[in-house]
Amino acid sequence: MANKEHVEHLRLKGVDDWNQWRISSPDVKPDLSDRKISDIISNSGKLILDKIDLSYANLKNTSFCGVSLVEAKFCNAEMQDGDLSHTALKNADFTGAKLEQTNFSHSKLIGANFTGAKLEQTNFSHSKLIGANFTNAKPWKAILYPPPHDPSNQHITPTRIQDDVESKPINNISELNSICKALKNHYEQYREEEYVIYFRGECSDSWNLLPSVKRYPPTVEEGEMLFDLLSRQPKRFNDTTMAMAQWVLAQHYGLKTRLLDITRNPLVSLFFASEFHAQSHAGRLHIFAVPKWAKVLSVYYSRFIKPFNSDTISVIANFAKLSRKEQEVILGSEGTSGMRNDDRVLKYDTAMRRLYHFINQERPNFEKRIDIRDLFCVFVVEPQKLFERIRAQSGAFMISAFHSRFEEEEMKKFNNGTPHHHHYRLKIPHCVKKNIRDELELLNITRETLFPSLEETARAINDSHLQRSQST
């Protein structure tokens, strides 16, 4: 229970006197637990506690709902199960605070500092987190997104298809076509949320769903790799000022990146899934049902299929240019020094300045309003059709700042509440790969058509003439 003397001090003295008391009595840890703060200060007629110092206080199960706490200090406070919903908390400092299961929904947390805070099941749904610092706070453990349903039951959350589409292997094009029809019919039931189906084929069913750079050791610096390529081949990148276009071009020429190739064409993915593997592995065909929009409380709040020139994609593409340490600090998975003037350890502000510097190079008028939620989603990017290959393969990309793997269950391991795509895996037995390739060739799905280039045309001619000579 709250300390009555502390409650009366706050009720009668106000913020300035309270803060002076905190300075003169540094060993005292205020106890306002299990109280509703608006009841304590309502006699003043204003629910304002801006700049109040509540560091090291016991605020368990305390309600600050509706109170203005701009630039307030909650450093190392115990605030488990507290209610700070609908609260003004701009530039508030929660460094080291224990915030497990605390409710910040619908609050303004612009510029708030959560460095080292405990955030398990902390509720940030519908809150404004622009510029919030989550250094070493692991924000993916918090509730970052609203629940994907309407409590009034007027909106039904889309679910995975109930038929076990993954149970039977794909032996021919007709079987794949049947599955595509079943998926299309299933997702068309949810007319409030449009779903788009994408595909990816891999020649082995033993691989994890990883972008190419994530298959390298974690010490590899993807940004440095891109900058090396830009410096050695500047003419190739003369017309690509946008970071996303640079990454697409770099991947086209073989650089390892965080982009995962996908396609709108199931036959293209089937072609790659039916490629032969040295160890005679079965192939795998991935299907992704991606919500074009996610809907909460009858409001469309996030778009997961982005055009190449969207602000969100610019943020993530430029985020990939940062050093690994800078990325970890921004994502909240890395710590920084607790000493404000310690230059030996990377600071959050330093990393963010670098990120905005890269973004401003392609978008000079970009506002410094990055929402950290965007860093924890997986997006599909519909790219510019820079190459014949992208056009021929109906290509698109998956990209994320945080996630290394794009399997649905891998995303749920970090935070089951993060909006995500539905993911299905189909097996292509090794013994049917040649028959499928023959079927695809009848439909003009070949390496030559999927990789339209002089080299592939020459290769196709060599192969056809070799087969002709062997048959005679």
Domains of the chain, by residue range, sit at: 1-144, 173-430
Whether this model's pTM surpasses 0.85: yes
What pLDDT, on a 0 to 100 scale, did the predictor assign at position 338?
A: 46
Q: CB 166: neighbour CB atoms within 10 A?
A: 14
The angle at the Cα of 210, spanning 205 to 214, to the nearest 5 degrees, equals 140
In terms of phi and psi (left: phi > 0; alpha: psi -120 to 50; beta: otherwise), the region of 56 is left
How far is C-alpha 203 from the chain's CA centre?
Answer: 27
What pLDDT, on a 0 to 100 scale, did the predictor assign at position 337?
A: 47
In this structure, what DSSP letter does residue 304 have? Answer: -
What pLDDT, on a 0 to 100 scale, did the predictor assign at position 419?
A: 80
What pLDDT, on a 0 to 100 scale, did the predictor assign at position 166?
A: 86
What pLDDT, on a 0 to 100 scale, did the predictor assign at position 304?
A: 87
Any residues with CB less than 8 A from the CB of 114 and at least 6 apart, and which?
A: 94, 95, 97, 99, 132, 133, 134, 135, 137, 139, 332
Three-state DSSP at 311 gives helix
In terms of phi and psi (left: phi > 0; alpha: psi -120 to 50; beta: otherwise), the region of 450 is alpha
What pLDDT, on a 0 to 100 scale, did the predictor assign at position 6?
A: 95
Helix (H) or strand (E) segment spanning residue 9: helix 4-24
Closest by Cα among 155, 81, 159 to 123: 81
What pLDDT, on a 0 to 100 scale, did the predictor assign at position 456?
A: 65
Instruction: Please report, in tens digits, the pLDDT of each residue of the chain (472 residues total).
Output: 899 999 999 988 889 999 999 999 989 999 999 999 999 887 656 789 999 999 999 999 999 999 999 999 999 999 999 999 999 999 999 999 999 999 999 999 999 999 999 999 999 988 999 999 999 999 999 999 877 654 444 555 678 887 778 888 999 999 999 999 999 999 888 766 788 999 999 999 999 999 999 998 888 899 999 999 999 999 989 888 899 999 999 998 899 999 999 999 999 999 999 999 888 999 999 999 998 876 554 444 568 899 999 999 999 999 999 999 999 999 998 755 444 554 444 689 999 999 999 999 999 999 888 989 999 999 999 887 766 777 777 889 999 999 999 999 998 888 877 888 999 999 999 999 999 999 999 999 988 888 876 666 677 677 766 777 776 6
- CA-to-CA distance for 269 and 284, rounded, in angstroms? 9
What pLDDT, on a 0 to 100 scale, did the predictor assign at position 288?
A: 96
- CA-to-CA distance for 324 and 327, rounded, in angstroms? 5
Tell me the CATH number of domain 1-144, given options 2.40.30.10, 2.40.110.10, 2.160.20.80, 3.30.450.90.
2.160.20.80
Are 348 and 326 in contact by the 8 Å Cβ rule? The answer is no
Residue 28, token pair as written in the block: 């005292």
Closest by Cα among 471, 428, 311 to 379: 311
Three-state DSSP at 284 gives strand
- CA-to-CA distance for 72 and 50, rounded, in angstroms? 6
What pLDDT, on a 0 to 100 scale, did the predictor assign at position 339?
A: 46
Helix (H) or strand (E) segment spanning residue 355: helix 348-362
What pLDDT, on a 0 to 100 scale, did the predictor assign at position 239?
A: 84
